Amino acid sequence: MAFNISRYYGQERMEFDVEVITPMFLGGADQKTAELRSASLKGLLRFWWRAASRIEDAVALREKENHIFGSAETNKSCVSIHTEDEHVKYEQTRKFPSHPYSVKGHSLNILDYLAYGLKQKNEFVRDRIEPESRFKITLIFNDKKSNNKDEIIRAFSLLVHYGGLGSRNRNGYGGVYIDNLEKEKISSQQQLAPFPAITKETRCFEFSEHNTWHDALAELGFAYKDARLSLENRHRFSKRSYISAPLMDSKENKAPLERHAKPYFLHVGKEGGGYKGQILYMPYKYLAGRKDFSEKKLIEYLDACNSLNKELELKSRGDRS
């Protein structure tokens, strides 16, 4: 539940009771120990604010973002964030519930597939915050005269309902639930931006309701994996490399880019008495601002994504955006 708790000295505070839905790999300074960090939350809040900003001019966007969230030059911010981990359970070694699939005769777990890079030799190298943990997030608006509060709350709602906290949040980890926090709509007529943003290309695919978080996340994992593999033969990599990079095969990156985050956000939320998954598609202008940008590559990127979207629509309950 969210509620205002005080107004004083030009500040307004909003406190949120947060429940962890899927394992959260939110690291401390050593990137191994699990820890609630306000700085990480603020960085993600920036990301979702940009996604919803609808500001097309890059300079104006940067100025507005720095005004709201602060910058290295001014260190001023319209919002401060505090966390309080009252009922948080930390875990290091416990394996995920099994949801197997087979590759070259080997049985693998789809939940490990989604946590790729967080395990070595079948052991987790990162601690995590377990589902059903609870903590508080307090947003402190430092200037009541500012009209930025609504934008910040909208970004926070997008983070809660479409994203997550910590590593692999695009793969469905770090999902949280806040009672009575209204879910923001994602419809827009904006053109593609140079960064992930809500535009007319954005889609959201909803899946079935399940009794457990891991059943809901496994359904998303299988749907995304199968849709991605449907793009081309396993030994070809041209279309799949547009979805994300690196694209590893035999310990070699087959993608032309060293790193490229996928435009898909897997998310598990609570609904009714169960757990329900969704996949948000939020593309951007591929290679924008780089010397190797071309309209041809942008079209090929969008074609690959649209082919994957058709598969997701077949596997889900359809596009509900």
pLDDT tens readout for residues 215-272: 999 999 999 999 999 999 988 999 999 999 999 888 899 898 999 999 999 999 998 8
DSSP 127: -
Has residue 4 got a pLDDT over 60?
Answer: no
Domain segments of the chain as ranges: 1-89+129-182, 185-321
Mean pLDDT of 282-310: 96
Has residue 5 got a pLDDT over 60?
Answer: no
Has residue 289 got a pLDDT over 80?
Answer: yes
% of the chain at pLDDT higher than 90: 66
Has residue 205 got a pLDDT over 80?
Answer: yes
Global pTM value: 0.93
The per-residue pLDDT for 103 is 85
pLDDT tens readout for residues 130-165: 999 999 999 999 866 567 899 999 999 999 999 999
Q: Is residue 7 very low, low, confident or very high in pLDDT (cuts 50, 70, 90)?
A: low
H helical segments located in 83-180:
110-114, 149-162
The per-residue pLDDT for 70 is 87
Q: Tell me the torsion sign for CA atoms 34, 40, 41, 47.
A: negative
Quote the mean pLDDT of the chain. Answer: 90
Bond from prior residue into 97 cis (ω within 30 degrees of 0): no
- Helix, strand or coil, per DSSP, at residue 245: strand
- Residue 258, amino acid: E
Has residue 6 got a pLDDT over 60?
Answer: no
The per-residue pLDDT for 175 is 97
- Residue 220, amino acid: L
The per-residue pLDDT for 29 is 65
The lowest-confidence range among 4-8, 104-108, 193-197 is 4-8
Beta bridge partners of 119: 124
Both structure tokens of 87? 């009922």
pLDDT tens readout for residues 20-63: 999 999 876 666 778 888 888 999 999 999 999 988 888 999 99
Mean pLDDT of 290-316: 96
Has residue 8 got a pLDDT over 60?
Answer: no
Q: Is residue 124 very low, low, confident or very high in pLDDT (cuts 50, 70, 90)?
A: confident
Name the residue among 211, 321, 209 with its Cα closest to residue 265: 321
Has residue 214 got a pLDDT over 90?
Answer: yes
The per-residue pLDDT for 268 is 98
Has residue 89 got a pLDDT over 80?
Answer: yes
- The second-level CATH assignment, the architecture, of 1-89+129-182 is 2-Layer Sandwich (3.30)
Task: Compute CA 228 distance to the chain's CA centroid, rounded to the nearest angstrom.
Answer: 18
- Helix, strand or coil, per DSSP, at residue 174: coil
Residue 171's Cβ-count burial label (10 Å; 0-12, 13-18, 19+) is buried
Angstrom distance (rounded) from CA 232 to CA 194:
27
